[in-house]
Structure 1
Amino acid sequence: MSAQLGFRGLGLCALIALAACGRLAGDDKKPPQLMHIKSASRSPDEFTVLPTKALQMPEDVAVLPEPTPGGTNITDPTPEADAVAALGGNPKLLERAAVPAGNGGLVSYASRFGQAQGIRDVLAAEDLEYRRKHDGRLLERIFKVTVYYRAYKPMSLDQYAELERWRAVGAKTEGAPPEDVAAAKKK
């Protein structure tokens, strides 16, 4: 009886190891997933469906632009522009690619030490490498345990230590909840 249980346990370990090998085989191709959150329901997400604007006939059909593959359509929803217009702003300002003249001083001050070209691509590649190194242990990957918070903990800011540092140099700071209250809210 004991030998039979031993063989079953050995078989179970072999099955888990085989499943792990299959799970790890394609890991170099796809980016690691540190956060594993799934919805409990199987219903569609109604917020991903955006209704189109009502169709309307232009005053002059000859001035319509040529259709471009992947381009925009006048019936496409534009929630950001609609929100700007509803709040009294100018939605045309969202289309500008250049820096507005009023922000030139801010941009030149922010880039006074130079600016790295392609910084977004560099940061994305570095973060991908970091996530691959901190993808969790074997069983965490197999059972899809969220390891995001543990992986990025060395990069998180201790808000209370930072608050005390600024107060020590005499800077005016906003209040923060006591540490025991903040810890109680996390639980």
Structure 2
Amino acid sequence: MTAGKTRVAAVLTAVLLVSACGGSDEAPRLMRLQASGDGPDEFSILPTKPLEMPADMSALPEPVRGAPNLVDPRPLDDAVIALGGRPGAGGADAALVAAAGRNGIDPNVRQTLAAEDEAFRKKNSPRLLERLFNRSSYQRVYSDQTTQSYEELERWRAAQARTPSAPPKDSGR
């Protein structure tokens, strides 16, 4: 290799390293996800509730084009019911509001969490090679906060708790 080519290679390497070290004032992105195309959005597909035969067929609502189906998922209503509230009552459901605020309410919770999250992401920013090769640092950063799923599954099974969505015991893991 000639001296000129060596200098060019050294300059390009130095530029590449310096550009990889550059950053911005915004919090680092731990997940480096990019859409691979215009394919379907797998999160837009929601499972429906099981079909049920009503006790009285005359109790069924009249079909209306575009109206919600009885078996369509209603996650907000399901969450309200799980907390002991009445779906559709909104802020007028005193029991639900009392249950949600039983441990106190911080009016600045969103700002507090956003500031804490930004500080955590800055403290655990992607490393040089992760940035250089556009790799995700999410798993490394949050590994201390993850649940060991099989250990947790065994703990619940030892407590005789039902685990219907878990794989069977003889799944060969």
Normalised to the residue count of structure 2, the TM-score between the two structures is 0.57
Q: Distance in 1 between matches of 2:133 and 2:105?
A: 42
The letter for the 2-side match of 1:17 is L
Q: List runs of 5+ in structure 2 lacking aligned partners.
A: 42-64, 78-87
String of CA shifts for 1:143-182, please: whole Å, max 9, x gaps.
3212222222222222222222223333333252269969
Residue 10 of structure 2: aligned partner: 10
1:169 aligns with 2:165: no
Structure 1 residue 4 displacement after superposition: 6.3
Residue 69 of structure 2: aligned partner: 87
CA contact (8 A) 1:35 1:147 kept: yes
Normalised to the residue count of structure 1, the TM-score between the two structures is 0.54
Q: List runs of 5+ in structure 1 lacking aligned partners.
A: 48-81
Q: Distance in 1 between matches of 2:172 and 2:68?
A: 37
Q: Distance in 2 between matches of 1:154 and 1:13?
A: 35
Residue 35 of structure 2: aligned partner: 39
Count residues with an aligned counterpart: 135
**Relative contact order (alpha carbons < 8 A, sep ≥ 6): 1 or 2 greater?**
1
Q: Distance in 1 between matches of 2:172 and 2:110?
A: 33
- Work out the percentage of aligned pairs sharing the same amino acid: 36
The letter for the 2-side match of 1:126 is E
The letter for the 2-side match of 1:33 is R
CA contact (8 A) 1:135 1:141 kept: no
Residue 51 of structure 2: aligned partner: none
Summarize the Cα distance change of 1:135–1:175 in structure 2 as closer, same or farther, 3 Å threshold: same
- Any idea what SS the aligned residue of 1:31 has? coil
Aligned alpha-carbon RMSD (Å) = 3.8
